Amino acid sequence: MTRAVEIVDEYGQRRTLRIPAERPLTVYVDKRELITLMTLGAHPEWLVLGYLRNQRLIQSVHEIESITVDWDVGAAAVRTRHGLADIEDRTARRVVTTGCGQGSVFGGLMDEVERIRLNPDARLRQSELYGILRVIREQDSVYKQAGSVHGCALFRGDELLLFVEDVGRHNAVDTIAGWMALQGEDVARGDDKVFYTTGRLTSEMIIKSAQMGVPIVVSRSGTTQMGLEVAERLGLCAIGRATHTRFLCYTHAHRLVWDTPPP
């Protein structure tokens, strides 16, 4: 997922370092071109599946017959079992998002928010939050080698279930959503999970987390006004600026169990 390049540093000396190997992946659904995603390409099938779910184009993995990726032509061919109903109307309206590289989502961001119901009993211990941040710090990553990527992770308590990196945080969360869809019911349900991202908590990131059923989101970065407002409406606990033993809880702090005061 990285490649070596030669650069000139501030001393005028040439040296070699590694950078992320971004590449385009054009998604076709039943032979209809849908979108081109810029990605590292580590888990393209999960990415495509999660993208379709988070765009609300499919409701279940069972609607998909196959996903075939061909990197020689940079394409992912999705074959559905019965086609996607009203796909022309559902993809006609695009919203340019704050995603890296200017992502886009189909339809209104808020269209289905009111129907999302998150587990009201989900809680995260402060000690588990510190455990999550420790696991992320110790994670071997493309970022440590080359920088210029976002990382996202799915936890149960402070147990790491999946860590994904990509050039954009939306790709990373979509990849996690695709992976969850292929797992058993215990993992596919997000109501006892915690989502972590290195990116900021914008409205679309909050909505994607909620669509996965995840009631607690942690970010190394901060939040936006709309992200905060959506989290408030959904009952989602949004935690930002989280590094080492520092964090800010923006919404629904009742989901935190304060069991470990910071040093």
Give the pair of three-digit tokens for residue 220.
């190394």
Q: What is the pLDDT of residue 85?
A: 78
Residue 134 confidence (pLDDT) above 50? yes
Q: What is the pLDDT of residue 102?
A: 41
The pTM score is 0.87
Ordered by start, the domain boundaries in the chain are 124-167+189-257
In sequence order, the 6+-apart residues with CB closer than 8 A to the CB of 144 are none
pLDDT in tens, 161-176: 999 999 988 999 999 9
CA distance linking residue 227 with residue 211, whole number of Å: 14
Does the domain at 124-167+189-257 match CATH 2.30.30.30? Answer given as no
Q: What is the pLDDT of residue 17?
A: 87
CA-closest candidate to residue 150, choices 129, 131, 171: 171
